[in-house]
Amino acid sequence: MRTTNTQAAALLAAVLLAGCASTAPQYYSLADATPGAMPASGAAPAFVELAPVAMPERFARPQLVVRQKAAIDGPQVDILEEHRWSSSFENELRDALSSGIAGRLGAVDATKSGSPRGQAVTRIAVQLRQFDAVQGRRVDASFSWTVRRGDQGPSLACQLSLSEPVEGGGIDALARGAQRTTAKLADAIARSVTANACPG
């Protein structure tokens, strides 16, 4: 009888451990492993600095916020506890954009390290206005941003809406769609810095 109870307890422990292992969060990054090429025209600034990304409070969390395909026209969204960005979404987006923009411009990313005294810095501020991720369909996103060269002078204000198709129905495919959306935004911002004009 004791052996049976011991075996049952061991089996229950194994089932509980397996359940815990199967619900371990999956983590995703918005960083682009293969950033786009540096724009051909204009001179790149020596330093760029990206302000914290402004976004609606519902997105400022590490969990992915998605819509099911069947609920594309409805108000319901899912907050996926088991699928998360590697940091809070606003920090993940800022890190991916700051490194991506600097890489495309051949500039130094001064977002966290700062710049030498007296060195001109191009300051960029981004606002996320919409980010609608629909499983198995697409990522719809809308952004605005400003670019200011140095501490004086006028700033350039731009906006961009993107719709990135998602190939596949899983969350991995949706995260890759969000990553491509971020890369396209970095491309557009880098072009606006180089040309001192909003992308057409």
Question: Mean pLDDT: which of 11-20, 84-93, 168-177 is highest?
Answer: 84-93
| pLDDT of the residue at 19 | 46
**Mean pLDDT of the region 147-173:** 89
| Spatial separation of the C-alpha atoms in residues 57 and 8, rounded to whole Å | 47
Give the chain's domains with CATH numbers: 45-195 (3.40.50.10610)
196 pLDDT above the threshold of 80: yes
HSE-CB of 79 using CA atoms within 13 angstroms: 7
**174 closest CA partner among 69, 74, 22:** 69
∠ Cα 185 187 190 (to 5°): 105
Average pLDDT over residues 108-132: 87
Residue 57: DSSP 8-state: G
Measured between alpha carbons, how far is 33 from 42 in angstroms, rounded to an integer? 25
The answer on pLDDT for 154 being more than 90 is no
Q: Is the pLDDT of residue 93 over 70?
A: yes
Percent of the chain with pLDDT over 70: 78
Percent of the chain residues past pLDDT 90, beyond the cut: 57
| Cross-strand pairs, 108 | 47
69-88 residue pLDDT tens? 665 666 788 899 999 999 99
